[in-house]
Amino acid sequence: MINYVMLSAINYPALIQYLAEGTLTVLELFFLTILLSLPLGLLVARLRMSRYKVIQLPVKLYLLIMRGTPLMLQLVFFMFFPSMVLHIPVARLPVAVFSFTINYAAYFAEIYRGSIESIPAGQQEAAYVLGLSPMQTFMRITLPQVVKRIVPAIASESMTLVKDTALASVIGVAELFKNATSLKATYASVIPFAVAAVFYLIMNSAVALFYSRVEKKMDYYKG
Amino acid sequence: MKKGISLILAMLMAGSILISGCSASTRTTSADSTAADGTEGTTAAAADDSLAKVQKAGVLILGLDSAFPPMGFVDENNNIVGFDIDLAREVCSRMGVELKLQPIDWSSNILELNSGNIDCIWNGFTISDERKAEVNFSDPYMQNRQVVIVSGDSGITALSDLKGKTLCLQTGSSAADALAANADFKASLGDVVEVNDNVTAFMELDGKTSDALLMDEIVAAYYITQNKKDYVILDESLADEEYGVGFRLGDNTLRDEVNSQLKAMAADGTLKKISDTWFGKDVTVID
């Protein structure tokens, strides 16, 4: 008869600590990605709207691939392609940040572009007549309006990003979902998942609150 | 102008993070590149410095699915423990290197091995002919069977009773291979459900969304005992298997070293001691 090493009932303090460690990794991934992909997305949007096909077409291809293939696939690709084909060693967290960044930059780029193109062309003409340079027009006139308009969309994407960090587990990043999965196996219980859900909810509540504050601050004029 | 600079800065930051990550990861060796193509019969004779590299680095990186009790899992104090972990620790201390545990996604195990992120796969890794083509196995250290688990009250006592029923197993596991090898049995089933891990499989049985499970006997028996479930392991097994440690193709010196350490542990009784701790009896097969 096999006698196994028995585990006691769920050790909640250790469980919460383990999941909190995973949450820290989620926050790391989240903040780095947002910080990098928001500016990158703006750049990509600008390139996408370029007059020159030689710039526009590669950018369109990039947008298609990033939005058209699963993020999980992209993570696995960037994790293993460099080391196996190019023989360049890569580390897990940077690869995850990189992959998330270029993926989310694509989505942000389209959000930016949609909003920029919706600004009435009459404003550009008026600015030109008043002697403003294209760069001044964009920075002082167009961009503030764009930022105000895209806040809800960016908020949604941000909340999606918090949840998408779970995908980093496929390249072995010890984030919240992976830790919860390990504990699920240890205790053969879904309680770790329930606690993980609470952590995700807390994070996303903070995100939602932040963006609603931003929206209120931008509400100094209508439209 | 300001926007342009800030955007270039952003891209530089992205690039620098990736590059700093590259320099932080010193484990990948260029000798692995011969094995990284995944083809058999790699020119191992050329540069098999696998053991030397590990000794120089002073650390052996073990890749595991940290959700696989009792072979490798997280205990209630958040430490990764398990039968395989204890074996590996002992082998490493005898080799004079440190053991580093690297949890990975099990479905990418061979990929992680070939990319150099881990040096070995040691996690109830079943030896099979298909895997032998891609992985350099150590000598078998433990025996195992692929068994079917059913609910105590289901009335199923033999494989033939599972006609038309739903069977659940872990994706990419040797259970899946065992099922594929038993084509008649597989054809008799109503449905086969693949899940990510064995605990999810047990949940399928709990929730009665599956009628039976197929998995390693060692794992099944552990769960049933640990969680005091009313489950039954059928006597008829689908496959007899052996566990081994997986190394990269061509890493023969490393493999041979681990083999000789395991043999030494068998000879002086350490292996039996570890086995007794985890299973109450000696389940190892190294002599």
Lateral strand order in the sheet of B142-151: B191-195, B166-170, B212-216, B142-151, B231-243
Q: Indicate the number of domains in chain A.
A: 1
Amino acid B1: pLDDT:
56
Q: Is B242 helix (H, G, I), strand (E, B) or coil?
A: strand
Angle at the Cα of B126 from the Cα atoms of B47 and B261, rounded to 5 degrees? 55
Pairwise CB contact (< 8 Å): B103 & A3:
no
Cα separation, B217 vs B145, whole angstroms? 5
Is A222 part of any domain?
no
Say how many CB pairs under 8 Å bridge A and B: 157
Which residue of A181, A190, A193 is the best one to mutate when testing the B interface, meaning the one whose CB has the most B CBs within 10 A? A181
Is A1 part of any domain?
no
CA distance, residue B187 to nearest chain A CA (Å): 30
Closest-approach residue (CA) in chain A for B114: A84
CB-closest option in B13, B69, B277 to A185? B69
- Residue among B274, B282, B287 nearest B87 (CA): B274
Is A163 part of any domain?
yes
Q: Given its phi and psi angles, is residue B96 left (phi above 0), alpha (psi -120 to 50 degrees) or beta?
A: left
Is A6 part of any domain?
no
- Residue among B89, B142, B75 nearest A18 (CA): B75
For chain B, give every residue range classified as CATH 3.40.190.10: 45-141+244-279, 145-241
Is A223 part of any domain?
no
Is A7 part of any domain?
no
Q: Tell me which residue has tokens 């039968």.
A: B83
Q: Using one digit for the tens of pLDDT, what is the confidence trace for A135-188?
A: 899 888 898 899 999 999 999 999 999 999 999 999 999 999 999 999 988 888
Q: What is the DSSP letter of A51?
A: S
Q: Using one digit for the tens of pLDDT, what is the confidence trace for A160-169?
A: 999 999 999 9
Interface membership of A17 toward B (CB under 8 Å): yes
Pairwise CB contact (< 8 Å): A84 & B22:
no
Stretch 80-119 of chain A: residues touching chain B, C-beta under 8 Å:
80, 83-84, 87-95, 97-98, 101-102
**Could you tell me which residue, B241 or B227, shows the higher pLDDT?**
B241
Closest-approach residue (CA) in chain B for A94: B18
Amino acid A35: pLDDT:
97
Cα separation, A93 vs A172, whole angstroms? 9
Q: In this model, does residue B21 exceed pLDDT 50?
A: no
Cα separation, B281 vs B279, whole angstroms? 5
Query: Helical H runs in chain A?
Result: 12-48, 53-68, 71-81, 92-118, 121-129, 134-136, 143-164, 176-187, 191-217
Q: Which CATH class is domain B145-241?
A: alpha beta
- Residue among A209, A40, A174 nearest B102 (CA): A174
Pairwise CB contact (< 8 Å): B76 & A7:
yes
Supply the CATH number for residue A106's domain.
1.10.3720.10
Spans in chain A with pLDDT lower than 70: 1-8, 222-223
How many other CB atoms sit within 10 Å of the CB of residue B227? 15
Contacts 24+ apart (CB under 8 A), B24-27: B24/A91, B25/A89, B25/A90, B25/A91, B25/B117, B26/A89, B26/B57, B27/A89, B27/B57, B27/B61, B27/B116, B27/B117, B27/B119
Cα separation, A17 vs A23, whole angstroms? 10
Pairwise CB contact (< 8 Å): B198 & A79:
no
How many other CB atoms sit within 10 Å of the CB of residue B241? 23
Amino acid A214: pLDDT:
92
Start-to-end CA distance of chain B, whole Å, equals 73
Q: Using one digit for the tens of pLDDT, what is the confidence trace for B150-209?
A: 988 888 888 888 888 999 998 878 888 888 888 888 888 889 999 987 888 888 888 889
Q: Using one digit for the tens of pLDDT, what is the confidence trace for B117-139?
A: 999 999 989 898 888 999 999 99
CB-closest option in A98, A184, A188 to B14? A98
> Crossing angle for the helix pair A143-164 and A191-217, nearest 10 degrees?
180
Cα separation, B75 vs A159, whole angstroms? 31
Amino acid A112: pLDDT:
96
- Mean pLDDT score of chain B: 82
Q: Which CATH class is domain B45-141+244-279?
A: alpha beta
Cα separation, B53 vs A152, whole angstroms? 53
The mean pLDDT of B64-93, rounded to a whole number, is: 91
Rounded percentage of chain B residues whose pLDDT exceeds 70: 83
Q: How far is CA A92 from CA B16, B104, B198, in A?
A: 14, 11, 26
Task: Pull the structure tokens for residue B152.
Answer: 């105590």
Amino acid A45: pLDDT:
95
Classify the C-alpha dihedral B191-B192-B195-B197 as positive or negative. positive
Amino acid B214: pLDDT:
93
Q: How far is CA B241 from CA B126, B216, B217, B253, in A?
A: 6, 9, 10, 25
Cα separation, B197 vs B219, whole angstroms? 11
Q: Does the pTM exceed 0.90?
A: no
Amino acid B13: pLDDT:
62
Lateral strand order in the sheet of B72-74: B67-68, B72-74, B80-81
Q: In this model, does residue B30 exceed pLDDT 50?
A: no
**Could you tell me which residue, A185 or B16, shows the higher pLDDT?**
A185
CA distance, residue B160 to nearest chain A CA (Å): 27
